[in-house]
Amino acid sequence: MAIVELSSALVDQCKLCAQQRDHNRRNSVDYSSDRTDDKSIWSFMGVLGEVALLTYFELEIDWEYLSTDKGFCGVDVGDIWEVRAMSKFGNRLFLWSDEVMKPNKLSYAWSKVVVDPTTGYCNVCGWAMGYEIAARGVHDQYDCKRSSYFYPNDQLRQHRNPLADQALSRQLHTIYKNIEHEGIF
């Protein structure tokens, strides 16, 4: 597991970015499906997770991309990484059921990032490809309105080396991208 500690200045920038993101997406399905009273915390956690993965991969942070619809509807990090930020290690990496129906989402690498929004301390835990989550995940619905596919934590690939993670994810992305139209799910 890789640990990324974001500076307090970077955490403050993440807060500002999350406020803009929250404003831009307040009518979206993702936003409205959450039963949490303080929905803005999820925007903040999402930005923290994305910035942590960008930092892990030593990629440039594009604040405009992260805070606008381009970033919300596009790939989270680089060109093939999606981020699921969460607050507890025991939580599992997941895909919303509607994401499983989108073959392009299944060919991406999905990273579980556990964030502490008060300190900026982030654990870049592990990852799996979307197809793997859809095929081996447990379909269930917990405390939100949308059902999901939950991937077992013990089956995640660990983030250990940014270059190796990028190389393997690109190989798998190429394989899964080529089977997008075969209608597996």
pLDDT tens, position by position, 146-177: 789 999 999 999 999 999 999 999 999 999 88
DSSP sequence for 67-121: HSHHHHHS-SBTTTEEEEEES-TTS--EEEHHHHT-HHHHTSEEEEEEEETTTTE
Provide the mean pLDDT of the chain: 86
Q: Please give the pLDDT value at position 48.
A: 96
Q: Which two tokens stand for residue 89?
A: 């290690």
pLDDT beyond 50 at 134: yes
Q: What is the pLDDT of residue 31?
A: 46
Residue 33, pLDDT score: 45
CB 180 within 8 A of CB 108: no
Distance CA 47, CA 33 (A): 19
Strands (DSSP E) found in the chain: 2-5, 81-86, 94-96, 109-116, 121-129, 138-140, 148-150, 157-158
Does residue 184 contact residue 131 with C-beta atoms inside 8 Å? Answer: yes
Placement of tokens 């594009």 in the chain: 62
pLDDT at 177: 86
pLDDT at residue 17 above 60? yes
**Per-residue confidence (pLDDT) for residue 32, from 0 to 100:** 44
| Nearest to 150, CA basis, from 107, 108, 110 | 110
What is the pLDDT, as a whole number, of residue 102? 82
Q: Could you read off the pLDDT of 23-39 as tens digits, one per residue? A: 776 555 454 444 455 55
Q: What's phi and psi for 112, nearest 5 deg?
A: -90, 120
Q: Rounded to whole angstroms, how far apart are CA atoms 79 and 62?
A: 13
Q: What stretch of H or E contains 132? A: helix 130-136
Q: Which residues contact 132 (CB under 8 A, 6 or more apart)?
A: 151, 155
pLDDT of residue 29: 47
- The set of residues, in sequence order, having a beta carbon less than 8 Å from that of 66 and lying 6+ positions away, is 17, 21, 47, 50, 51
> What would the pLDDT profile of 73-123 be if each residue is shown by its tens digit?
778 999 999 999 999 999 999 998 888 888 888 999 999 999 999 999 999
The predicted model scores a pTM of 0.88
